[in-house]
Amino acid sequence: MLFTRARALHLSSLFGLVLLTGCGAVFINEGSKASSYAEHIPDAQLLHKSSIPADNRKISNFSDGTVYMDPYLYGAGLGYWQVIATDGSIPNTNFIATGGVDGDKAAHITGYLNDVGDGKYPTLALEGKFKKTTYYDLSLFHGVRFYYKSNDQATRRRFEFGIASTVPVADGGVCTDQCGNHFGVFLKPTLDWVAESFDFKSLNREEGWGATLDSDDFMDHLKEVVYIKWENGTNNVPGLYKVDYWVDRVEFY
């Protein structure tokens, strides 16, 4: 009788595991290398805008000194940062530097803009791509916040989200004409660190140019984000301009 009961319990446990596995359950053994990730796996069925843990909202604080985004950022996959220099711009190559908000590391973009007045509007940009081949979904967040400072010779400072319809095909979007007019906001020069916070509803495109979209409301494009971006540039006035700006503690809310 004891043997029969033990055998029945064992079979019942196996049957339960099969059912759970079929439902997509994830099992992580305590003490395994992956056990630390268990606390960072939200239940997708329970997620809403206010339930994503703080650790899963962080994009980067750059303190680890690498060009990769925080591995616990919800929904992202091996996101990374890079400096984009256009039309004669000269950037620094090692942009993760000491000097952040708390004295630790941050993104520090420096270089020069060589504007020859030919309508190309050279820029130096810090670009964070969330995924290598697919789009990122912002719909479970309200907005974004970060620390920023810049008091260089740039005449145009802008923070943006590039979406599929405004990002060129070569960069992961679908835009083929008048690309680059992303949803964003202009930033003011500042000598000291400033905490910036922007609700997604407040982000707009520039007027008078850019690819035609089905909707000019960023809230209708939250599921097709390619990258997050800071961009310092000029206004087509010939000259050599010094660029110097910092970004730190980037996160969603």
Half-sphere exposure of 131 (CA within 13 A, CB side): 18
Residues 26 and 85 in one domain: no
67 shares its domain with 188: yes
Banded pLDDT at 82 (limits 50, 70, 90): very high
Beta strands 239-252 and 105-115: pairing type?
antiparallel
CA–CA distance, 158 with 244 (Å, rounded to integer): 14
Say yes or no: 105 and 191 in one domain.
yes
Instruction: Inform me whether the pLDDT recorded for 222 exceeds 90.
Output: yes
Q: CB-based contacts of 8: which residues, under 8 Å, 6+ apart? A: none
Least confident stretch, 51-55, 97-101, 149-153, 191-195: 51-55
Same-domain check for residues 197 and 118? yes
pLDDT digits (tens, 9 = 90+) for 13-43: 333 433 333 443 333 333 333 333 333 444 4
Which tens digits make up the pLDDT trace of 155-202?
999 999 999 999 999 999 999 999 999 999 999 999 999 999 999 999
pLDDT band at 78 (very low <50, low <70, confident <90, very high): confident
Instruction: Please give the pLDDT value at position 107.
Output: 98
- 88 and 144 in a common domain: yes
In this prediction, residue 87 carries a pLDDT of 87
Co-location of 117 and 138 in the same domain: yes
Average pLDDT, the chain: 85
Say if residue 27 is in the same domain as residue 149.
no
85 pLDDT exceeds 70? yes
Same domain, 105 and 79: yes
Beta bridge partners of 99: none
Structure confidence at residue 75 (pLDDT): 92
Q: Do 53 and 72 meet the contact criterion of CB atoms below 8 Å apart?
A: no
Is the same domain home to 37 and 70?
no
113 and 25 both lie in a single domain: no
Same domain? 129 vs 158: yes
How many structural domains is the chain composed of?
2
- Residue 96 belongs to what domain range? 50-252
| The pLDDT value given to residue 49 | 60
Query: What per-residue confidence (pLDDT) applies to 40?
Result: 42
Same domain, 23 and 101: no
What CATH number is given to the structural domain containing 160? 2.60.120.430
Task: Write the single-letter amino acid at 40.
Answer: H
